[in-house]
Amino acid sequence: MSSNSASIGHELRSPLNHILGYSEIAIEDAEAAGLTEIVADLRTIHAAGQRLLTVIETILAPSVRSLTAVPPETIDREVREPLDQIIGYTELVAEEATAVGEASIANDVGKIRQAAERLLLVVAERVVTCQEPMQEPVQQVDDGPLPACVPGTILVVDDSSTNREILSRRLLQLGHEVGFAADGIECLEQVRSRPYDLILLDLWMPRLDGMGVLEKLKADPQLHTIPVIVLSADDDPQNVVRCIALGADDHLRKPCDPVFLRTRINASLEKKRLRDREQAYLDRIEEEKKRSEELLHVILPPDVASELKNSKRVRPRRFDDVGVLFCDVVGFTAFADRATPEELLVHLQTMVELQETASHHHGLEKIKTIGDAFMAAAGLGDGPDPAIACVRAGLEMVEQIAHAPPHWQVRIGIHCGPVFAGVVGHRKYQYDIWGDTVNTASRIEQAGRPGFVCVSKPTWLRVAEACDGESLGVVNLKGKAPMEIFRITGLK
């Protein structure tokens, strides 16, 4: 064997001997102390070292030429995976041993970790002699306290059960809730079945790899905001760039330094919480906007509300054929004098709801209420003949209000003709109509008969074929010329 080959053999076998030797010593100490869980983890480290020794003896150690000829994917699977396992478990064991006061065990696993990192560096340097430059392994950051951690729900996606276990144990120690997926297909199934705050995503997996997962996540409107940190032993800068281009929030090389991992997780979770908070504010604004628009449509006719929303103003209009209806309670003042405020409000609410329902049924637009008086109009938009629409709505109001406690009788007056319509007010919008038609309908209601719908003669002539009724004769209307009015007794 050449001196160069002998040097490589020494560089490879020396750290391996340290890994195996110190793990055996630590196992004996842990067994003597009765630390069952630590013993299990140390045996996992020792088994990974044995597996790594077999790999190096069979495919890496013979010569420099054979070492550089090993495909990168072989290095990732056969060498880096057990090294990642060793480094990951040494982190956990060191913390567990320190927590129970076993400083000697913690010291030994620290030496195991150093040997594993040295071996990783040797393998990387020898393999890349004929390949692309590789980044230096991440140096451990041991100084200072770890940053504070805000718990989240994290999905660990890795086809290696060992990697999943190491990551999950560390995440659980940090207070996170952890889910698992063994490949990309399972990852997508998981995130569609429950919400996750973050995904830790391996790059090379069967069925669907990390790149495929990123493409599908970012193309899904329901999932594209979930932050993703790619964890991979792949050092190819093009793959790192492609991951970021596909939407990954970060990329960490395996094995991951616990401080860096924790810091990157915290940063990603904080960004997601800020995005979620922003989206909640936007949703709230949209909800308030929707509520305002709904309220606007309650106050104003649909076309008027749309015009006000789009142009911030409503131009006044003239309508040549509008049916105006007034409804007033007979004896309301006397009832109000003896009723309690609560009782009065309950009965008024019931009556107005019945009036609004009847108006809606027959295509009328509620204009306003003044005390016990209710005003509505037909013909301000598309709909049936305004005269017959008002009569039908009025008859329904008379019947429904009479059957509802306190069994009020109402007078209803209807007249048809031209009106002007528009919106007044700025702080409180009021849609209203004006004109002689409005005044005449009001006067007919005042001169009408309790429990009946009364109409002007022009209106009667328009509905006579559809209604039964009789003339009440010529009536003197306040502020108007004498006018013949008719009482509607029913529909034919």
- CA 362-367-372 angle, 5° bins: 95
Residue 344 lies in a domain: yes
What is the b/e burial string over 286-304, where b = at least 16 CB atoms within 10 angstroms of the residue's CB? eeeeeeeeeebeebbbeeb
Question: For the segment 419-458, what is each residue's pLDDT rounded down to a tens digit?
Answer: 999 988 777 778 899 999 999 999 999 999 999 999 999 9
Residue 8 lies in a domain: yes
- CA 447-452-458 angle, 5° bins: 65
Tell me the residue ranges of DSSP E strands in 273-379. 317-329, 365-370, 373-378
122 and 196 assigned to the same domain: no
76 and 38 assigned to the same domain: yes
Q: Cα separation of 257 and 399, whole Å?
A: 80
Residue 235 is predicted with a pLDDT of 66
Taking the CA atoms of residue 40, residue 44, residue 45 and residue 51 in that order, the dihedral angle to the nearest 10 degrees is 160
Residue 223 lies in a domain: yes
Give 10-residue mean pLDDT values along the chain (492 residues): 47 78 88 90 89 73 47 64 84 89 89 85 58 41 50 91 82 90 94 94 89 93 92 79 90 79 89 87 86 73 76 85 96 92 94 96 93 94 91 97 94 96 81 94 94 96 95 90 93 90
Residue 206 lies in a domain: yes
Task: Return phi, psi of residue 310, to 5°.
Answer: -80, -35
358 and 433 assigned to the same domain: yes
Answer with the one of 271, 293, 327 that is the final residue of a domain. Answer: 271
Cβ(453)–Cβ(445) below 8 Å: no
Cβ(305)–Cβ(296) below 8 Å: yes
Q: How far is CA 11 from CA 61, 70, 361, in A?
A: 10, 18, 91
Which residues, including other chains, have CB under 8 Å from residue 233's CB and lie 6 or more apart?
76, 80, 81, 84, 253, 254
Residue 278 lies in a domain: no
83 and 48 assigned to the same domain: yes
pTM of the model: 0.49
* Number of domain units in the chain: 3
Residue 198 is predicted with a pLDDT of 95
Residue 139 lies in a domain: no
Amino acid at 433: I
CATH number, residue 334: 3.30.70.1230
Domain that holds residue 90: 3-130
413 and 477 assigned to the same domain: yes
Task: Return phi, psi of residue 406, to 5°.
Answer: -90, 30
Q: Cα separation of 386 and 471, whole Å?
A: 21
Task: Return phi, psi of residue 429, to 5°.
Answer: -70, 140
125 and 164 assigned to the same domain: no
158 and 118 assigned to the same domain: no
366 and 451 assigned to the same domain: yes
If one counts every other C-beta atom within 10 angstroms of the C-beta of residue 334, the result is 9
Q: Cα separation of 166 and 232, whole Å?
A: 14
23 and 72 assigned to the same domain: yes
Answer with the one of 247, 271, 295 that is the final residue of a domain. Answer: 271
Residue 135 lies in a domain: no
Give alpha helix (H) positions in 160-233: 161-173, 184-193, 210-219
Residue 163 lies in a domain: yes
Tell me the residue ranges of DSSP E strands in 177-309. 177-181, 198-202, 228-232, 250-253
The interaxial angle of helices 36-55 and 103-127, nearest 10 deg, is: 20
CATH number, residue 170: 3.40.50.2300
CATH number, residue 125: 1.20.120
Nearest residue to 443 (alpha-carbon basis) of 455, 431, 460: 455
226 and 358 assigned to the same domain: no
Residue 10 backbone zone (phi > 0: left; psi -120 to 50: alpha; other: beta): alpha
114 and 49 assigned to the same domain: yes
374 and 486 assigned to the same domain: yes
Answer with the one of 271, 292, 327 that is the final residue of a domain. Answer: 271
Residue 74 is predicted with a pLDDT of 59
Residue 194 is predicted with a pLDDT of 92
Pull the structure tokens for residue 359. Answer: 């108006």
